[in-house]
Amino acid sequence: MPTEKKYTAESITVLEGLEGVRKRPAMYIGSTSKDGLHHLIWETVDNSVDEALAGYCKNIQIYLNEDGSATIEDDGRGIPTENHPQYKISAAEVALTKLHAGGKFNKESYKVSGGLHGVGISVVNALSKKLILEIKRDGKIHSQEYSRGISKTKLQVIGKTKEDETGTKVTFWPDEEIFSTVKFDYSYLETRLREIAFLNAGLKITLNDKIKNKKEEFFYSGGLIEFIKWVNKSKEVLHKPIYFKRDVKDTSIEIAVQYNDSYNENIFGFVNIINTVEGGTHVSGFKTALTRVINDYAKKNNMIKDNSIMGDDTREGLTAIISLKIPEPQFEGQTKTKLGNSEVKGLVESIVTPTLSEFFEENPTIAKKIVLKVLDAAKARLAAKKAKDLVRRKTAFSISGMPGKLADCSNKKSDSTEIYIVEGDSAGGSAKQARNKEIQAILPLRGKILNVEKASPSKILSVEHIADLITAVGTGVGESFNLEKLRYNKVIIMADADVDGEHIKTLLLTFFFRFMPQLIENGNIYAAMPPLYRIRKGQKDFYVYSDEELKKILEKEGKTGGTNVTRFKGLGEMSSEQLWETTMNPKTRKIKKIFIEDAVEADHTFSMLMGEDVPARRAFISENAKEANLDI
């Protein structure tokens, strides 16, 4: 048990009120769609996790209730219930009704915290049509009800509990006036909760879905070692995980490293359990130290003669998880996706360099496996450079500088243009006839794109249709990637609405995820949604995009007349007018924006779908076939 710190009403510091949260909710939770809805749970869970980080919470339970509400319960200290000295109402009510209020601003209450902005539970309260707070503290159970940020009752004692039994329980009903959907997604929560449990060894998190009668426990005593094994479970690893943890003053640095036989780099950085998807100074410090240690070891053991190993080489096939716990992290904005503390880079370097060097000296077999993998990457990099130079020379000698198959658009303003990536000359021909030539470009690709999950960068970059794709998009790949050179605002994958089409779509998404992930993060990658069926009734045509939709229409139409149903087998079978009307007209089409909910889960999914783990792939496809409308 940690040393008891003073956590009373005086610990709750107030910066400002709740004004404007309901008027501009997206400022506080990102959006009012599915992401924003689930953000309410994360803000509430963060408070419980902060209690765990402080050493006072061992169990967190999340319930998705049958009435549409969500409950988050922990066994932490419980929010203070006595009156706040300034506001003359309970400290709990202050925390729930004042925007920047909480114990996070008081170093004595929370040395380490993810919810540093103090907006969490008050924003949840403001955006819920109803919220019930229950606190176990001082042998009593306290309760209070709120509605849309306003207290409906006073904090009152409703029962007794054991003297040492403490905790906070929050049940809230999201407000339909605010959110486009108020239905929680079990799988969406599952991924992040697993991640939180991995990052907090010994913390048990339970997710209960009372609607679907599903329950899952996340508890990992092995922490990051179990985390990195889980990330790499679909890959062939080269060695056991390398793990170390060091505490320097108030900072804790925990790192797990493991190489696999793939060509992809996966570094996941966390600060106070927040996933810093854009990296930051902790990731920079790790990269610098890793390159130095591998170079030094290779030279010392006469494996190289000069500085032929570069940073990218040392990270090919690398999976690393960096978990930092620091008192005052400086994040870039409320989204907290990048760490900015300048002192952290040097601190991480100073810990990783000697620790990793010592591990290499004590484990020469593992060290040599890693260095040989890195040397192979260096050779492949030089080969890839030759391939890139070949692409550049080809571009320089072509008339337009663009692939010959590209039917470009006349408008050169990238913010209003879009490119369709189409498989096959037949579909490409239809698309070229159907398009709006001013804003829509068409790039046909012959045959299925190479599976980049199983090929080396040098091979990938030497394939003609991949070189054409990179040239047409304009940004380059890897270290030479430059978002400002993007030639189109929307990059749209257009494939047939069948199993082959889904496969082609997945191959292309794998390419973008591995070579141009910034385009996904920036919201530039889309998938077209061609119809599955055409229903003709009299002189009118209706287009249907799923089997479920067709069934509903036929049931409805069956009562009023029969109908003529045509199943579209491929884009090439549509006339240009049909293709424009159903799939390419910006005013009437349906397209899906591709985004990454969780980088760790996305990496695992792509590795499993496109890698060597056949049983896992079969299980995944069987489980998700209906969702993806695959006609298996």
61: helix, strand or coil? strand
Going by C-beta distance under 8 Å and a sequence separation of 6 or more, which residues neighbour residue 556? none
Q: Are residues 466 and 455 in contact, defined by beta-carbon separation less than 8 angstroms? A: no
Q: Are residues 527 and 493 in contact, defined by beta-carbon separation less than 8 angstroms? A: yes
Q: How far does the chain reach from its first CA to its final CA, in angstroms?
A: 55
Compute the distance between CA of residue 579 and CA of residue 576 in angstroms, rounded to an integer. Answer: 5
Is 185 one of the annotated active-site residues of the chain? Answer: no
Tokens of 370: 């890693």
Choose the catalytic residue: 134, 209, 496, 603: 496
Compute the distance between CA of residue 274 and CA of residue 337 in angstroms, rounded to an integer. Answer: 8
Choose the catalytic residue: 73, 312, 423, 603: 423
Compute the distance between CA of residue 57 and CA of residue 75 in angstroms, rounded to an integer. Answer: 5
Residue appearing with tokens 């170093």: 107
Buried b (16+ CB within 10 A) or exposed e, 78-107: bbbbeebeebebbbbbbbbbbbbbbbbbee
Tokens of 146: 């709120």
Compute the distance between CA of residue 45 and CA of residue 68 in angstroms, rounded to an integer. Answer: 18
The CA-based dihedral angle spanning residues 397, 400, 404, 409, taken in that order and rounded to the nearest 10 degrees:
160
Choose the catalytic residue: 261, 358, 500, 548: 500
> What are the start-end ranges of the H helices in 150-204?
186-199
Going by C-beta distance under 8 Å and a sequence separation of 6 or more, which residues neighbour residue 112? 50, 53, 54, 250, 252, 272, 325, 326, 327
Q: Are residues 161 and 55 in contact, defined by beta-carbon separation less than 8 angstroms? A: no
Is 19 one of the annotated active-site residues of the chain? Answer: no
Is 498 one of the annotated active-site residues of the chain? Answer: yes
Buried b (16+ CB within 10 A) or exposed e, 268-296: bbbbbbbbbbebbbbbbbbbbbbbbbbbe
Cross-strand partners of 415: none
Is 51 one of the annotated active-site residues of the chain? Answer: no
Compute the distance between CA of residue 494 and CA of residue 527 in angstroms, rounded to an integer. Answer: 6
Choose the catalytic residue: 74, 93, 498, 603: 498
- Residues that are catalytic: 423, 496, 498, 500
